[in-house]
Amino acid sequence: MVPFDCFEEPWVIFRGKDSRAGCVQNTCAHRACPLHLGSVTDGRIQCPYHGWEYATDGVCEKMPSTHLLNVHIKALPCVEQDGLIWVWPGNEIPDAPLPSLAPPSGFNIHAQIVMELPVEHGLLLDNLLDLAHAPFTHTSTFAKGWEIPSFVKFMTPAAGLQGYWDPYPIDMEFCPPCMVLSTIGISKPGKIEGRSTQNCSTHLHQLHVCIPSSRQKTRLLYRMSLDFAPLLKHIPFMHILWRHFADKVLNEDLRLVIGQQDRMVRGANVWNLPVSYDKLGIRYRIWRNAVEDGQKQLPFSES
Ligand code: FES
Ligand SMILES: [Fe+2]
């Protein structure tokens, strides 16, 4: 069972009888007990309080010791692709294909980490889409010893949500609705090399998925892949080391972003004075404002 919140509502994902993933409301129809505190048997999630059992379509199929007809809880459409389960928390299912979030060919996944963070998902996306902060914020981790460039730019096609950082060997993309993909040229983990990712022989690829749990909470799914050292992932406890490093990097950001959130709640504008290196973050905000305004044709979309 994977419990998670999305847009303030609690959900739980589990596998049904056909072993396909299903997502139902994480609240029992009887007396609102969280279902993920129970268990899954024969493809049904069982409430731990009085044992009511629900299938992946939300229908209550078993109700021990009593009988009531037509009981069900909300269920969301689910699709599994590239090792991720997508849910659609709306009414009409869009017909657009899902973007591929698999690592590029030649890359192996080395770490997959889930974190629950006490910040609004947009503030986290703003942070992930920004590299100019690295030599000031990440001074104990990956940007230790970086020089401060005289000018930092994000180079991108006129209407794109992807591009590369000048002068860093980092390609980056915002993938709607809440993902950031980045490829970093490195000589060894944590070390930056050269000015362009093409000139680097080894690379680290990252996927960040920022799920809007609630107004001040994000569920972050992080996946890290490398196009070298394929055996590294077989070293015992390597995942603990990756987790430690990911936590350390994120904590460097988090105290600042939590601070921004505090100011935002008190009325500050977090995009008060954008400059040239803020381009990708600003484009994300333009896209997101269009979504919130209910615009049919979204900016930066290909079709
Ligand atoms: S609260 Fe779930 S069965 Fe009673
Ligand atoms: Fe950061």
Nearest to 184 by CA among 212, 147, 150, 142: 142
pLDDT of the residue at 36 = 98
Report residue 29 as tokens.
């129809």
Judge whether 238 and 110 are in contact, CB under 8 Å. Answer: yes
pLDDT of the residue at 191 = 58
Report residues of the chain scoring pLDDT below 70: 187-195, 302-303
Report residue 130 as tokens.
């920004």
Q: How many Å apart are CA 146 and CA 165, to the nearest integer?
A: 15
Ligand 1 pocket member 29 (CB < 6 A):
no
The per-residue b/e assignment along 82-107, b for 16 or more CB within 10 angstroms, e otherwise, is eebebbeeeeeeeeeeeeebebeeeb
CATH topology of 2-87 equal to that of 108-292?
Answer: no
Ligand 1 pocket member 62 (CB < 6 A):
no
Return the number of other C-beta atoms located less than 10 Å from residue 244's C-beta: 10
User: Which ligand is located closest to the Cα atom of residue 29?
Assistant: 1
Ligand 1 pocket member 45 (CB < 6 A):
no
pLDDT in tens, 111-122: 999 999 999 999
Ligand 1 centroid – CA 35 distance (Å)? 8
Judge whether 226 and 234 are in contact, CB under 8 Å. Answer: no
Q: Which amino acid is at 245?
A: F
Ligand 1 pocket member 28 (CB < 6 A):
yes
pLDDT of the residue at 303 = 42
End-to-end alpha carbon distance in the chain:
37
Nearest to 134 by CA among 177, 167, 109, 181: 167
**Residue owning the nearest CA to atom 3 of ligand 1:** 50
Q: What CATH number has the domain spanning 108-292?
A: 3.90.380.10
Tell me the domain boundaries of the chain.
Answer: 2-87, 108-292
Ligand 1 centroid – CA 176 distance (Å)? 37
Report residue 41 as tokens.
């048997």
CATH match of 2-87 with 2.40.50.140: no
pLDDT of the residue at 194 = 56
